[in-house]
A and B are shown apart, each in its own frame.
Chain A
Amino acid sequence: MSVKHALLALLEQQPMYGYQLRAEFERRTGTAWPLNVGQVYTTLTRLERDGLAVADGEDDEGHVVYRITDGGRDEVATWFTTPVARTQPPRDELAIKLALAVTVPGVDVGTVIQQQRSATMASLQDYTRLKRRAAEAADRAERADLAWSLVLDSLVFGAEAEIRWLDHCEARLRRAAVEQGREGARPVEDVPVPRPARGSR
């Protein structure tokens, strides 16, 4: 995630000090990606080194206030007009885990899939609950509320896509197992099916 560009975009609106930047970042994105203040100051130091922002004195309470430079403004403009690259997709732990689960002998892939599906579903329930609350609070419609609600939508779509992919993996595995069974390589009973839950209320 580009903390650097996010902070620059905030500085473009007005000069701010570290804690202010962190608060403003979280106000707009929720706490989906919490930022610690150390990270903010490290980033500010780098921005200053690269000539994109400068420390511009202290406010009445002694906070060092940072201001964006012309170079910084150009950098923000370029960031907004350049698409996020998917040529190198971020490492996806779940995809890697499943790729290994289907190739390492003795792993109960069906259970791996179901446990993940439950966990992702629980997150999706949380996001949905938060969205409902955000909608209820929509009367106070501020731009920041809209920003937070869009971030939530992104999380909803992501979780939904993950569940759909897990369903797809499960269906593919079952089909593959049936086909192998037909060829006599593996009995059909070995179709990976998740274990029944111990008890449901």
Chain B
Amino acid sequence: MNPVLQLADVTRVHGTGAGEVHALRGISFAAHAGELVAVMGPSGSGKSTLLTIAGGLDQPTAGAVRVEGTDLVGLGQQERARMRRTSIGYVFQGFNLIPALTAAENVALPRELDGVPVRTAREEALRALEEVGIADLAERFPDDMSGGQQQRVAIARAVVGERRLILADEPTGALDTETGEGILELLRARCDAGAAGVLVTHEARHAAWADRVVFLRDGVVVDETGTDRVEGLTERADA
């Protein structure tokens, strides 16, 4: 099966000459449909750069970035923006909602920008809000919501329109443990329903929700957890 996201030998260099910084050094990485992949590493290891490049927000210095088979690197700016609206959902630590718009309007916005009729966009937005468990808050403004509720809106905005790649950069960073787990549950459910997810986090207990955990150091993938299970415990659960 072709991966939803594929990075092939991606390098990202910031600056030139003596001030050159190699954020990514030839990274190859893939996320398949139905799979949630966590990326861990200390600050400066390149994990956020990897996510911004995967989301088309930044361009690699070398290498290919394919989302559902389309190489983002070869696209013009407008086409790349279109990919971001139709195929890629982004969830940030700081939620990044538009304060002047209600929850439903925030979620409908990417669909409207994509030319979907206002009414259809709104219906889709309400469905997405229902999926994340806050249909009753559709007419609230971000300032009148808790952090956990705002992040749910952000997730609804990231998944609206059946986008198949969800990229989350420390999505639980600003939330307490329990609220954070609720957000991970949503990401997990979305991936179980067929999306591919990439979760950047420095918290082991959050990364543990993923199918695979990739470890970055100095812009290189140094390791990755396999699919070995803890034997006795898994037997019990499967019994």
Contacts and interface: CB of A to CB of B under 8 A. Distances in A.
A32 B233 contact: yes
Interface centre among A34, A125, A126, by most chain B C-beta atoms within 10 angstroms, is: A125
Contact of B207 (A121, A130, A194, A195): A121
Contact of B217 (A124, A163, A193): A193
B204 A159 contact: yes
A197 interface: yes
Given A196-B220, A197-B221, A200-B221, A128 B208 contact: yes
Contacts of A15: none
B141 interface: no
Given A128-B205, A167-B42, A122 B233 contact: no
A197 B233 contact: no
Contacts of A133: 237
Interface in A87-117: 114-115, 117
Interface stretch (B52-60, B71-79, B158-166, B222-230): B222-230
Nearest to B204: A163
Interface string B165-188: 000000000000000000000001
B64 interface: no
A30 interface: yes
- Interface SS of chain A: helix, strand, loop or mixed? helix
A124 B205 contact: yes
A125 B210 contact: yes
A201 interface: yes
B234 interface: yes
A31 interface: yes
Interface residues of B, number: 34
Contacts of A184: none
A69 interface: no
A156 interface: yes
Interface string A130-156: 101100000000000000000000001
Nearest to A167: B42
Given A193-B217, A194-B217, A130 B237 contact: yes
Given A30-B233, A130-B237, A200-B28, A194 B223 contact: yes
A127 interface: yes
B204 A124 contact: yes
A171 interface: yes
Contacts of A132: 188
Given A128-B209, A156-B205, A200 B233 contact: no
A180 interface: no
B29 A200 contact: yes
Nearest to A34: B232
A192 to B, nearest CB: 11
Contacts of B232: 31-32, 34
B233 A130 contact: yes
A43 interface: no
Given A118-B223, A197-B223, A125 B213 contact: yes
20 contacts: A31-B236, A114-B222, A118-B223, A118-B226, A121-B207, A122-B229, A122-B230, A126-B230, A126-B233, A127-B230, A127-B233, A129-B237, A130-B237, A132-B188, A133-B237, A160-B204, A170-B42, A195-B222, A197-B223, A197-B224
Interface of A: 30-32, 34, 114-115, 117-118, 121-130, 132-133, 156, 159-160, 163-164, 167, 170-171, 193-197, 199-201
Which 6 pairs from chain A and chain B are nearest by CB? A128-B208, A163-B204, A124-B208, A126-B230, A31-B232, A122-B225
